[in-house]
A and B are shown apart, each in its own frame.
Chain A
Amino acid sequence: MRFLFKTDYDQDIRLFKDGVQMFWYALLGIVLLALPAVLPEYLMGQMVFILIYAIIGLGLMLLIGFTGQISLGHAAFLAVGAYTEAIMQAKGMPFVVSIVLSAVFAGAAGLIVGLPALRLKGIYLAIATMAFGFIAEEVITRWEHVTGGNSGKQLKQIDFFGIIIDNDTKFYYLALGLVVIILLGMINLMRSPTGRAFVAIRDSEISAQSMGIHLAKYKTIAFTFSAALTGVAGALYGHKLQFISPEQFNLLVSIEMTTLVFIGGLGSFHGAIFGAAFIIALPQLIVFAKDVLPPAIGQQTGLQPTVFGLILIGFLIFEPLGIYGRWVKIRTYFSLFPFYRRGMFKRQKSYMKSDRLK
């Protein structure tokens, strides 16, 4: 158990709490950089997917976990990013420009959805974003001379300042770099007035407003940023798959993306990363389990949604703070050993708090 005595305001502000924390993150950094030397190429491919989903997770965490606005249509922004990248690359744009354009276009789409959605709350916002997602999917399918319709679109390998990203190890370093940049930007945002305004809106709109926070402005910023990040992820996603078509961006993808932040843990950066790792690892684990389980269960296509659903429900009931919440508990257990008590993280139970009037 370590105690932190604060003697300087900078201790609240800086990136790492203390030297010990910095040490662990440095170690994590070294492990991540050394990973390609250890893991086989196939698993590096999975790591790339995790990083791409981590970007999605961070974007959604900003919107859902920090600002408290729900979205069930984020696959549309993923699509905007992926298609922008495909089209721009085909026009011969360098990757650095095209990925920025993917972010800008997706962000603009987010702005367009965000503006009318400002007045909507909770479930209405969920339904509006879901409706937008359906419409976007249909538009992509029908707008054939731009998107290629149902026959989809091919993407070539990324040319990053002359380096052709032709294997998963290179892709991994590229994605890792992007995740670190995005993460730093988000941490910066969250320790600034804008980040606090997000949190204020999440916890009480009425009170945020009376503190002088312009609700519409900050909700729009959150929506735009979230969409832009998803757009960046979309561009990478397109390159990773090398082929995109409308049905890769349907409602189920949106829902999967949203569950990511709930399973990972709402309101934490760790949660976005953990959630991404979970979403990618689960199908692999199930493939793994198929060899172990009796064929009557193991060979079923329904196994994956069933397990996914059960885990989602399990987390929401038993660990509302997701994988991150579990992680904090385990960490506390070891740092307090042997004084950890079961009741330490007990939640206060509220009886039917109405969200209708939030």
Chain B
Amino acid sequence: MSFFKAENLSIQFGGVKAVTNVSFEVQQGEVFTIIGPNGAGKTTIFNLISLIYPPTSGRITFEGREITGMTPHRVANLGIARTFQNIELFEHASVLQNLLIGRHNHTATRLWQELLFMPSVRRAEIEHREAVEKVIDFLDLQHHRDSMVAGLPYGVRKVVELGRALCIGPKLLLLDEPSSGLNPEETDDMAFWIEDIKKDLGVTVLMVEHDMSLVSRVSDRVLALAQGEMLSIGTSREVQSDPKVIEAYLGKPE
């Protein structure tokens, strides 16, 4: 049984083929990166995994269970967390609240208990906070704990979003362009975190990324896409030296 598997994924929007026949497997414990020029269908694959769109054909399995066709919120319950390319935080809530929402699928209290704020709810709330505090420590967010997201700089938001995904307690973490919009130092921090997430937390990472130095630094395997189709799959070095990949990025040699 493979950990995560996408088989023959295709999706069309109207007549436009966004993703055609993409298949790949992610092994438990690795960092698997999808690269490709703009419009290659990278984010679309993420959206297929989080069930934002249903695929036209193909299936996705996670730990042997098919996830295509489930109701979208169940994906998170299975242990798949994600971040978004353009940051989708809960703007009018504090960082702490954002992270606590990440703990949503660990909720065990019932509505009537919450209405009365029974001792069990109070205990659960404290447990949620202890769990979130670990993520806050891990990502150095203590300083921003009680700030409103709407007022935070871009780089911090990016980290908060990563933190929120970690609060789910994921087995598989989908990162959509973790370094976009970050300055070199912040990108460097991000690389460290991705490595730590893999080594210390034992979370498998599937990521979409443009920054090739980050890609080669953290990825175990890389998949290159162009115009929705698979070009090449292998280690970062193999993929980068593949003539088809070079052609997709730079055009045909004259």
Residues of A within 8 A of B121 (CB): 188, 192
A188-232 contacts to B (CB < 8 Å): 188-189, 191-197, 199-200, 202-204, 206-215, 221
Are B92 and A199 in contact (CB-based, < 8 A)? yes
Query: Is B82's beta carbon under 8 Å from chain A?
Result: yes
**Which chain B residues lie closer than 8 Å to A196 at the CB level?**
93, 97, 100-101, 104
Tell me if B217 is interfacial: C-beta within 8 Å of chain A: no
Q: Closest residue to B116 on the A side, CB-wise?
A: A188
Cα distance, A214 to B109, chains bound together (Å): 15
The answer, among A9, A213, A348, for a CB contact under 8 Å with B126, is A9
In the complex, A223 Cα to B125 Cα: how many Å?
Answer: 25
User: Which of B's residues lie within 8 Å of A, judged by CB?
Assistant: 50, 52, 71-77, 81-82, 84, 88-93, 96-97, 100-105, 107, 109, 111, 114-117, 121-122, 124-126, 128-130, 150, 164, 168
Q: Is B115's CB under 8 angstroms from A212's CB?
A: no
Q: Is A267 an interface residue (CB 8 A)?
A: yes
Whether the Cβ atoms of B73 and A213 lie closer than 8 Å is yes
A interface residues, how many (CB within 8 angstroms) = 32
Least distance between A303 CB and chain B CB atoms (Å): 36
Q: In the complex, A17 Cα to B101 Cα: how many Å?
A: 21
1/0 per position for A100-116, CB-CB distance to B under 8 A? 00000000000000000
A355 at the interface (CB under 8 A from B): no
B104 to A193, Cβ gap below 8 A? yes
Residues of B within 8 A of A256 (CB): none
A residues apposed to B, CB below 8 Å: 9-10, 12-13, 185, 188-189, 191-197, 199-200, 202-204, 206-215, 221, 267, 348
| Complex partner residue of A212 from B92, B100, B105, CB under 8 angstroms | B105
Q: Given that A9-B126, A9-B129, A202-B92 are known contacts, is A191 also in contact with B117, CB under 8 Å in the complex?
A: yes
Contact of A211 among B76, B109, B117, B130 (CB under 8 A): B76
Q: Is the CB of A185 within 8 A of B101?
A: no
Are the CB atoms of B117 and A207 closer together than 8 Å?
A: no
Residue in A10, A193, A200, A207 with the greatest tally of chain B CB atoms within 10 Å = A193
CA distance A221 to B91 in the complex (A): 22
Q: Decide yes or no: A221 and B111 within 8 Å by CB, A9-B126, A197-B101, A212-B104 being known contacts.
A: yes
